[in-house]
Amino acid sequence: MAEVAILLAIQKLGLALGTKLLNQASSLFSQQLASLAELPGRMETIMRELCVMRQFLLYIDKVDSKNQVLEAWIEEVRKVAYTIEDIVDEYIYLIDQDKQRRGGLVGYMKQVSQQPESFNSLPRIASQIKQVENGLDHLSRLKDRWIIQTTSIWHSSSSDNVSEWTQHLMGSSSLSMCEEQLVGVDEDRHMLTNWLRSEKLDLCIITVWGMGGLGKTTLVTNVYKRESRNFDCRAWISISQTFKIEDLRRKIITELFGDKKKIPINIATMDVIKLKETLREFLEQKKYLIVLDDVWEPRAFYELQDSLVDNQKGSRIFITTRNAEVASLANKNYKLKLEPLSDPDAWKLFCKRAFWNYENQECPPELEKSARDIVDKCEGLPLAIVSLGNLLSLGRNSETELKRVYDQLNWELANRPILDPVRNILNLSFNYLPKYLRNCILSCSMFPEDFLLKRKRLIRLWIAEGFAVERGSRTAEEVAEGYLVELIHRNMLQVEERNHFGRVKYCRMHDLVREFAVSLSKKEKFHVIYEDNEMERMVGANARRLSVLKYSNDIGFNIDLQWLRTFVAFNTTMPASSFTPVFPSKSRYIAILELQGLPIEEIPNAIGDLFNLRYLGLRRTKVKLLPKSIGKLSNLLILDLYESAIQKLPCEITNLKKLRHMFVERENDPTGKAFRWGSGVRAPKGLWNLKELQTLQAVEASSELVGRLGNLTNLRSFRIWNVKETYSKQLCASLSQMRSLSYLSINASDENEKLNLEGLKHPLPNLKKLTLTGRLAAETLTFPLFRDLRQLCLSWCQLTADPLPSLAQLSNLTFLQLERAYNGEQLCFCVQWFPNLKRLDLIDLPQLQRVKIEMTAMSNLETLYLRYLKNLTEVPEGIEFLTSLWELYFYDMEPQLTSVHSSPKATCHHHITTSTKANALSTVASGSFDPPNHGHPEAVTITGIPIGSQESRLEELQGRNKNKSCIGDSGKDFIANSNKEEKEKLSSNIYKIVKSARDATQGSKQDK
C-alpha cells in the first residue's frame, strides 16, 4: 500500500513538470545559478524512478506481508514519497508566487526593491532533491541486497478499467446493500415482529447476535421501520467501542425528544445524574422503543439500565451485538442468534449482485461451477457475498476471471489465517480497487463510527487532498462524485439518504469496512485517529493525517507533526490550544484544516504561513474575523465559514485566485420562520475577480457588486441577500453571464421589496434549482427561466392569483415548495399536472382553506408536507389519487384536522402521526417504514423520517440543510420495486385513512 503514497508523489511531479509551469520556472532559473536550471530534469528522473518503484510495490503487495525486512523497506519508501510530495508542493508554490510578483508595473517595482522568496528557497529545494536522489539510490541497493522477490503472484486485469461504469452507476436505480441483504430472513423477521407486538407489558430486552457481516443491523433496521410507529417514542443509538455514558444518555434524550425545540436547553452541560433523571421523567408515561446497535460489552447496557423505566406499557429494547455475553442480557426466550445464509439463499443473493444485468439475474450455465466455488468461500455471510458480488459485477465475467478470483481468495484464506472470512473478502475487494479509489475510501475511515458522510463534504475533501483532479472536460467535483458512486456500487459505502433527484445525499461506512480501513490506515501511516484511550499508543506516530474524535490534551506533544497534511477535529469541546501546534512551526505543509464546531473565536495571524493550505473549515465556530494574512493562502480552494460568527471578510480575501467554494452565511432565525432567516457578508471590493469560484453562499447585495458578478462565469451555486428592486437590471445582466449556474437563491431586502426578473427572460442552460424570496409579479412564473427547473422554492411572494397553472407547465419539476407565497383560499392540482413531482411542501399559507387534487395530478408524488396552514381544516380533497404517495406530514395544523383517528381496519405499509400545539397524537395504519434513528411523536408522517426528528438528527451530526428535503432511501427503494397491485393496495389504504379523517373533521364541524 506504500504505492498509494508514491502515486500522489508522481501526480505532484507531473504537475510540477507541466509545460506551463516549466515555462514559468525557466524564466526564474535564468536569473540564478546554472545548477538550478537542471532542477526540472532531475525531478523528471525521480518521477521515472518512482513509477518503476510503484509497479514493484504493486507486485510485492500480492505476497506475504509478514516479511519484516520487506515491511521496513516499504516504510522507508513511503517516507521518501512523502518528502517528494512536500518538496514538489513548495516548488510549485514558489514558481507561482514569482509569477504573481512579475505581473505588471507594481510587480516589477517589487522585484527591483526586494529579492523574491524563491531566490533563497530554490537552492534549498535543489539540495533536498539531491538528498532524495541519494535516498532512492540507497533504497535500490537495499532492495537488491535484502529483498527476496517471489513469483507467487496473482495479477488483476480488471481493477483499473471501471471508470467507464461511472455514468451507468450515476443513473442506477438498483437497491442498496441493506435492501438486497434481506434474503432468507423471513422467519427471523417474523419472530422479531411478534416479540415487539406481544401483549407482554413488562419492559422487554431483545437481543440479536452473531458474528460480523451476518446482517444483524440490517434485519433490525427493517423490523424497526415497520413497527416503530406502534410506540409513543423511539430512538436508535449506535454504541461505539469507546462510549461515554453521559454521551449515550444525551443521544437517547435527543432522539426520543425528536423536536429540537423541546430538548432541554442545558442538555450539553447536564451531569450524569441529571441526565438520568431527565430520561426517566420523559419515559415514565410512554411506551418506548430503543435500539442499542453494535454493543461490544455488557457494561454499556448496565450503565444505562437505571435510566430505562419499566412502566408496564409494553416498551421494548433491541440490542445487536457480536458478543454472546451481551446477548445473554435478553429476557428469557427473547434472544435471536443469526446464522449464515443457507446455500440456496447465499446463491440467490450473490447472483443478484454479480449478475444484476443478466436476464432474471441468473448466472450463465458456463460460469456456475466457478461462481458456486466462490460463494462457498463466503460461508453464508451476507456482507462477504455482497462485497464479492459487487466486485465481480464490475469485471468481464468469464470462467477465467472467476477462476482468478477464486485462486486469490484461496490465497487470502491460506496466508492470512488471522483474518476472519469477512476480512479476507474485504482485503480482496480492496486489492481490486482502482488506485484512484484507495485513498478516497481510506479517508472515509477518518470519520467517527456510524457517521453520516455528506456527499458534498467528501467531494471537497477529496479535491483538497488531490485525490480527485480535473479529467478532460470533467471538473474535479464531477470526477470526485464519480468516485463516490463507484465506492457505493462496490459496497465500500452504503447509501443512507438520497435527495428528491435520486442523487446520494448521505452515505455511511459499514462498521466492518471501517474497521478494516482504519487498521490498514494505521499500518500504512495514512492517518491516525486520536481518542482518549489511544494517547499513549500514538506517541511519536508520523501519520500523514490526524483525526481527533475524543481528546482533551495537547496533541502537539504526542505526535510528530512534520509529516502532517490533514487535521480534522470532531470533538467540539476541544480547546483552541489543542490545535495550535499544527501551525507553521511544526506543520508547514498542511493542506486541510477542518475545525468545524470547535469553540474557537479567532484564527492566529500565523495561518498565512501555511502556504500549502487548500481547505479551511471553520463552520459553526465562533470566529468573527479572519486575519489579513489569509490573503497569503494562494493555494486555498475551500473556505467554509457557514453558520460561524463571521461579520466581514478582509479585503485580502480577493488574493485567493484559486478559491473554488466559499461559504460565509449566517443563520439569524433557527426556526426559519422569519423573512430574513439568514444573511450573507458584505463582499469586499474585488471579490468578483475570483474567477475560479463555483460556490458563493452568501453575499449581501450592493449596487457595485451586482454589476460585477458577471465576471464569476464558473459559479454553479450562488445565494445573494438584501436585493433591492433598483438592483434588478444589473443583477439579471450579471446572472445571464453565469452559464454554468445550477443553483440560484435570490432574497429581497424586505418582505415588501419586489424581485424584478424581467432581465432573466432567457433560460440559464444549467439552472436546476431556484429559490426566490420576495414579492413577485404573477407573469414572472411564465418566464423561460423556469422552464427546465427540477426544484423551485417560492417564499413571501404575495401572489394573489393561483400560481399552479403557470407552474404546471414545468414538466421536469421534482420538488416544489410554497412558503408564504400565495394569499388565495384554494389550490387546485388539475388533471395530469406535475407528472414528475416527487415532493410538495405547502408552508404557512395564511388564507389557504382548501386543497384539491384531481385524478392523475402529481402521479409520481412521494412526499406531501403541510405545515402552519391555520385555515386548512379539511384533509386535501382527492388525496386518494396520489398512488405513489409514501410520506405525509401534517405539522402545526389545526386540532380538528390532526387529532382524528382512522378506521382500525385500515392496514398498509404507511402510518400517520400528528402534531398540534396541544400535542395531540394519532397513529393510523400498520407496518410503517420509518428509517432508524428517529423518535418523534409529534410529526405527521406516512412512512418516512419525521421532519423534526430528521432535522435534529442531521443537525447533531452534519448541520442543517436549508432546502429542508428529507426523503428516506428505504421508502424510495420499496416504491421503486413495488408492483402495480402493491401500489394500488397502498393507495387504497391511504384513501381509507384519509376518508375516515375527512369524515371526522366534517363531523367535528357539524358538532361546532
CATH code of the domain covering residue 732:
3.80.10.10
- Domain of residue 612 covers 525-667
The predicted structure's pLDDT at residue 208: 94
Q: Are residues 290 and 366 in the same domain?
A: no
Q: Are residues 362 and 490 in the same domain?
A: yes
The predicted structure's pLDDT at residue 559: 62
pLDDT digits 0-9 by tens, 283-326: 998 999 999 998 888 988 998 998 899 999 999 999 998 888 89
Q: If you average pLDDT over residues 467-484, what whole number do you get? A: 92
Residue 58 has phi, psi (to 5 degrees) of: -60, -35
Q: Are residues 57 and 108 in the same domain?
A: yes
Q: Which residue has the higher pLDDT, 917 or 605?
A: 605
Query: Does residue 265 have a pLDDT over 70?
Result: yes
CATH code of the domain covering residue 902:
3.80.10
In 3D, which of 685, 633, 680 has the Cα closest to residue 658? 633
Of the three residues 778, 794, 810, the one that is the final residue of a domain is: 794
Q: Are residues 992 and 865 in the same domain?
A: yes
The predicted structure's pLDDT at residue 730: 92
Q: Are residues 287 and 329 in the same domain?
A: yes
Cα–Cα distance measured from residue 116 to residue 102, given in angstroms and rounded to the nearest whole number: 10
Q: Which residue has the higher pLDDT, 15 or 89?
A: 89
Q: If you average pLDDT over residues 774-802, what whole number do you get? A: 90
The predicted structure's pLDDT at residue 166: 40
Count of positions (residues) in the chain: 1008
The predicted structure's pLDDT at residue 413: 53
Cα–Cα distance measured from residue 694 to residue 741, given in angstroms and rounded to the nearest whole number: 8
Confidence of residue 389 (pLDDT cuts 50, 70, 90): confident
| 841 belongs to a structural domain | yes
Question: Of the ranges 155-169, 334-348, 647-661, which one carries the lowest mean pLDDT score?
Answer: 155-169
Q: Are residues 101 and 170 in the same domain?
A: no
Q: Are residues 445 and 573 in the same domain?
A: no
| pLDDT, the chain, mean | 75
Q: Are residues 356 and 252 in the same domain?
A: no
Q: Are residues 661 and 533 in the same domain?
A: yes
| 693 belongs to a structural domain | no
Q: If you average pLDDT over residues 208-231, what whole number do you get? A: 87
ω into residue 9 within 30 of 0, thus cis?
no
- Return the beta strands (E) in 855-917 as ranges: 863-867, 887-891
Confidence of residue 676 (pLDDT cuts 50, 70, 90): confident
| 833 belongs to a structural domain | yes
Cα–Cα distance measured from residue 44 to residue 551, given in angstroms and rounded to the nearest whole number: 43
Of the three residues 667, 687, 711, the one that is the final residue of a domain is: 667
Confidence of residue 1001 (pLDDT cuts 50, 70, 90): very low
| 998 belongs to a structural domain | yes
Query: Does residue 175 have a pLDDT over 50?
Result: no
| 517 belongs to a structural domain | no
The model's pTM is 0.72
Cα–Cα distance measured from residue 780 to residue 802, given in angstroms and rounded to the nearest whole number: 13
Query: Does residue 130 have a pLDDT over 70?
Result: yes
Cα–Cα distance measured from residue 894 to residue 874, given in angstroms and rounded to the nearest whole number: 9
Compute CA 928 distance to the chain's CA centroid, rounded to the nearest angstrom: 26
| 963 belongs to a structural domain | yes
Question: Of the ranges 293-297, 444-448, 693-697, 965-969, which one carries the lowest mean pLDDT score?
Answer: 965-969
| 953 belongs to a structural domain | yes
| 498 belongs to a structural domain | yes
The predicted structure's pLDDT at residue 432: 72
pLDDT digits 0-9 by tens, 224-244: 988 988 999 999 998 877 778
Query: Does residue 541 have a pLDDT over 60?
Result: no
Top-ranked range on mean pLDDT: pick from 106-120, 313-327, 965-979: 313-327
The predicted structure's pLDDT at residue 353: 81
Q: Are residues 264 and 332 in the same domain?
A: yes
Query: Does residue 976 have a pLDDT over 80?
Result: no
pLDDT digits 0-9 by tens, 798-835: 999 999 999 998 989 999 999 999 999 999 999 999 99
Cα–Cα distance measured from residue 522 to residue 411, given in angstroms and rounded to the nearest whole number: 24
Q: If you average pLDDT over residues 425-452, what whole number do you get? A: 85
Where do the H-state alpha helices sit in 394-475?
399-415, 421-432, 435-444, 455-465
Residue type for 404, please? R
Query: Does residue 447 have a pLDDT over 60?
Result: yes
Residue in the structure block whose three cell numbers are 395504519: 925
Share of the chain above pLDDT 70, in %: 70
Share of the chain above pLDDT 90, in %: 30
Confidence of residue 865 (pLDDT cuts 50, 70, 90): very high
Q: Which residue has the higher pLDDT, 865 or 153?
A: 865
Cα–Cα distance measured from residue 280 to residue 348, given in angstroms and rounded to the nearest whole number: 46
Query: Does residue 352 have a pLDDT over 70?
Result: yes
Of the three residues 318, 337, 356, the one that is the final residue of a domain is: 337
The predicted structure's pLDDT at residue 323: 82
Query: Does residue 839 have a pLDDT over 90?
Result: yes
Confidence of residue 737 (pLDDT cuts 50, 70, 90): very high
Confidence of residue 139 (pLDDT cuts 50, 70, 90): confident
Q: If you average pLDDT over residues 535-559, what whole number do you get? A: 64
Per the structure, how many domains does the chain have?
A: 6
Top-ranked range on mean pLDDT: pick from 227-236, 456-465, 973-982: 456-465
* Cell numbers given for 772: 426566490
> In terms of C-beta density within 10 A (0-12 exposed, 13-18 middle, 19 or more buried), how is residue 540 classed?
exposed
The predicted structure's pLDDT at residue 556: 52
Q: If you average pLDDT over residues 20-27, what whole number do you get? A: 48
The predicted structure's pLDDT at residue 101: 57
**Total Cβ atoms within 10 A of residue 214:** 25
The predicted structure's pLDDT at residue 455: 96
The predicted structure's pLDDT at residue 558: 59
Query: Does residue 980 have a pLDDT over 70?
Result: no
> In terms of C-beta density within 10 A (0-12 exposed, 13-18 middle, 19 or more buried), how is residue 1007 classed?
exposed
**Total Cβ atoms within 10 A of residue 1003:** 12
CATH code of the domain covering residue 226:
3.40.50.300
Give, for 615, the enclosing helix (H) or strand (E).
Answer: strand 615-617
The predicted structure's pLDDT at residue 808: 92
The predicted structure's pLDDT at residue 314: 93
Q: Are residues 480 and 567 in the same domain?
A: no
Task: Look at the alpha carbons of 548, 550, 556, 559 in this order and tell me if their dihedral is positive or negative.
Answer: negative
pLDDT digits 0-9 by tens, 682-706: 999 999 999 999 999 989 999 999 9
The predicted structure's pLDDT at residue 494: 85
Residue 691 sits at the vertex; the CA angle it makes with 689 and 694, to the nearest 5 degrees, is: 130
Query: Does residue 657 have a pLDDT over 70?
Result: yes
Q: Which residue has the higher pLDDT, 103 or 882?
A: 882
Query: Does residue 671 have a pLDDT over 70?
Result: yes
Q: Are residues 858 and 998 in the same domain?
A: yes
The predicted structure's pLDDT at residue 115: 46
Query: Does residue 580 have a pLDDT over 70?
Result: no
